[in-house]
Amino acid sequence: MEKQLHLSDKKISIRDLGDREYFYGHKACPGCGGSLALRLALKVLGERSYAVVPAGCMSAVGFIFPQMAFSCNAIISTFPGTASMLSGVAAGARALGIKDFHAVGFAGDGGTADIGLQALSGAIDRHDKIMYICYDNEAYMNTGVQKSSLTPIGARTTTSPAGKRLKGAVTHKKPMFEIVAAHGIDYAATASVGYPLDYLRKLEYASRVDGTSYIHVFAPCPVGWGHDTSDTISVAKNAVDCGLWFLAEFSDGKFTLNHKPGKFTSAENYLLGQSRFRHLGEEDVKDILAERDSRWSRILSEWSL
């Protein structure tokens, strides 16, 4: 039997997770942040889970007949259909009298903020009891690193090349956390695979929310970002420490910041440590920092701690 997790908030420990694996033996790349996000989430949610995974990295590496990597129920959805299929799964299970289950989706940044946004919006609007986890690796990685609306400004992808005229992506990340919050979602959070305890706590909380929950987990991709495969966790941690990502929650109509960096670590080191940003000049970095600082002044003045 799995150990039961308790919502002892910050006391949750990796030791609370059972040994049983629900996403294992897949063929994700070394150092894949997305597969780690899935693996940890299913360890929290356990065997009574229906995992819905759209076309993308995780479905490409986890469902190749006849070798299935999920030991809980799992299904690939259409690319735009993560949330709508989740709603159908949950409604079907409910109508059949099935109790104590989790309908949980794992979609990438493109599958969430671009092609899947409409269905996600619909599910949140209905307050369907589903969990939606966006593993954000900041580009369409499965198809070979193309820009999504969650690709950060300045990042080089295969469709936002860095050249003489343009320096990678020219737009900022779509604020998905605020977008789902603006729907009046029952629970939303941001997380990072570099802060696993925070992520686990949010997963456990989300699993008990009576309504729609959304967790946006920052998940580095060594292939697309150009960092060493052994640096995934430190990159994911650095993103938070340098202020380019944040750990927060939204519930009861209120934003809460979970982790306030005392002093930001060097964002230059974070950026220039990844080949996708290496073309950026001093001025470009300065612009990114200015945007970061204006976001943080808003966060600190409007969100509670």
Partner 1 sequence: MIPAQKAFLSGNEAVAAGVRLARPHVIAAYPITPQTTVIERLAEMVEDDSLKAEYLHVESEHSALSACIGASAVGARTFTATSSQGLLYMAECLHYASGGRFPVVMMNANRSLALPWNIYGDQRDSLSLLDCGWIQVYAEDAQESLDLIIHGYAIAEDPHVLTPFMINLDGFLITHTYELLNLPTQEDVDVFLPPFRTVNKMDLDHPMSLAFTAGPAYNQSFKQLQHQAMMSASKVIFETEERFGQLFGRHYPGLIETIHCDDAEFILVTLGSVAGTVRPVVEKLRSLGERVGLVRIRYMRPFPDTEISTALAGAKSVGVLEKDISFGYEGTVFTNVNSALMRAKVLPPRLLNFVGGLGGKDISATDIERLFLRLKSPDDGETVAFI
Region binding partner 1 by CB under 8 A among candidate stretches 35-43, 120-128, 141-149, 219-227: 120-128
DSSP string, 214-230: EEEEE---HHHHT--GG
Residues 6 or more apart whose CB falls under 8 angstroms from that of 248 comprise 177, 189, 190, 255, 256, 257, 258, 299, 303
Task: Show the binding pattern over residues 121-150: x = contacts partner 1 (CB under 8 A), - = does not.
Answer: xx--xx-x----------------------
The answer to whether 52 contacts partner 1 (rule: CB under 8 A) is yes
Least gap, CB of 20 to partner 1 (angstroms): 12
3-state class (DSSP) for residue 74: strand
Tokens of 133: 């986890």
Least gap, CB of 75 to partner 1 (angstroms): 4
- In angstroms, the Cα distances linking 218 to 45, 139, 240 are 19, 12, 9
Q: Judged by CB, which is closer to partner 1: 92, or 144?
A: 92
Least gap, CB of 126 to partner 1 (angstroms): 7
Under 8 Å between Cβ of 210 and 232: no
- In angstroms, the Cα distances linking 208 to 49, 101, 204 are 13, 10, 7
Residues 6 or more apart whose CB falls under 8 angstroms from that of 198 comprise 191, 192, 247, 258, 259
The answer to whether 119 contacts partner 1 (rule: CB under 8 A) is yes
The answer to whether 1 contacts partner 1 (rule: CB under 8 A) is no
Q: Which of 28, 40, 89, 247 binds partner 1 (CB under 8 A)?
A: 89
Q: Which of 29, 93, 179, 285 binds partner 1 (CB under 8 A)?
A: 93
Q: Which of 77, 160, 212, 251 binds partner 1 (CB under 8 A)?
A: 77
The answer to whether 23 contacts partner 1 (rule: CB under 8 A) is no
Angle separating helix axes 33-45 and 232-241, nearest 10 degrees:
90
How many whole angstroms separate alpha carbon 109 and alpha carbon 31? Answer: 18
The answer to whether 60 contacts partner 1 (rule: CB under 8 A) is yes
The answer to whether 63 contacts partner 1 (rule: CB under 8 A) is yes
Q: Which of 37, 58, 70, 221 binds partner 1 (CB under 8 A)?
A: 70
The answer to whether 299 contacts partner 1 (rule: CB under 8 A) is no
Q: Which of 94, 172, 174, 279 binds partner 1 (CB under 8 A)?
A: 94
The answer to whether 84 contacts partner 1 (rule: CB under 8 A) is yes
Burial of 109 (0-12, 13-18, 19+ CB in 10 A): buried
Under 8 Å between Cβ of 304 and 265: no
Q: Which of 35, 59, 137, 190 binds partner 1 (CB under 8 A)?
A: 59
DSSP string, 174-203: P-HHHHHHHTT-SEEEEEETTSHHHHHHHH
Least gap, CB of 73 to partner 1 (angstroms): 4
Under 8 Å between Cβ of 156 and 162: yes
Q: Which of 7, 14, 68, 197 binds partner 1 (CB under 8 A)?
A: 68
The answer to whether 244 contacts partner 1 (rule: CB under 8 A) is no
Beta strand pairing status for 131-136 and 102-108?
A: parallel
The answer to whether 161 contacts partner 1 (rule: CB under 8 A) is no
The answer to whether 27 contacts partner 1 (rule: CB under 8 A) is no
CB atoms within 10 A of CB 240: 24
Site residues (CB under 8 A) for partner 1? 47-48, 50, 52, 59-60, 62-66, 68, 70-78, 80-81, 83-96, 98, 101, 118-119, 121-122, 125-126, 128
